[in-house]
Amino acid sequence: MVCGFFLLGAMGCPNNGRDTEIINEKGGNFPDFLVGTWQMQDDKWELTFDSDGKISLIKHHFVTVPIVPAKGGAYEQGRDGAYSIYTMGPCIAQYDRASRELNVVITIDYFQVVLPVGKFEGKMTDSFRGRIYNGDTTWAAAWVSYVELDGAENPDPNSIQPVKVVFTKVQN
């Protein structure tokens, strides 16, 4: 893994000072009950929120290794010369106390997947928007995943139908 992060730096994929960002209405603090790890029911996603509201760890549906946004990205080494590089963009969490709605946006500014038979690259943004309920341990959200592949026609963002997902708090 250390070698992978060295390779990220050597290839010019720095963090650029980007980190996760917490935005709360009226300058409120990030609620304690949101701090910890939240896992999607089918294990496609896992998000860990720190006490300051930053997202410190992401298990992403497209990436098989955990992502630490503060490190700027992730690297995966495959077999037969295959590898993947992921450079993070902004990761934003926003909680509205009045509506009990948590909104999260995870951005991968650049990814490259190299396989023995070719490669593809692009960028993606995943957003989750929904209410916290059930004693502050369940988050029902609408998930929208938008992917742009280099060399392909980009989808119309308005044509992407949200998928209903449920996260459960699994760790404080």
Number of domains the chain is built from: 1
For range 77-106, the mean pLDDT = 94
pLDDT digits (tens, 9 = 90+) for 113-133: 999 999 999 999 999 999 999
The pLDDT value recorded for residue 91 is 94
Domain holding 64, by residue range, is: 2-171
pLDDT for 95 beyond 50? yes
Let me know if 109 is exposed, middle or buried by CB neighbors in 10 A (0-12, 13-18, 19+): middle
The rounded percent of the chain whose pLDDT value lies above 90 is: 73
Listing DSSP states for 12-71 in one string gives T---TT--EEEEEGGGPPPPGGG-EEEEETTSS-EEEE-TTS-EEEEE-TT-SS-BBGGG
pLDDT score at 56: 95
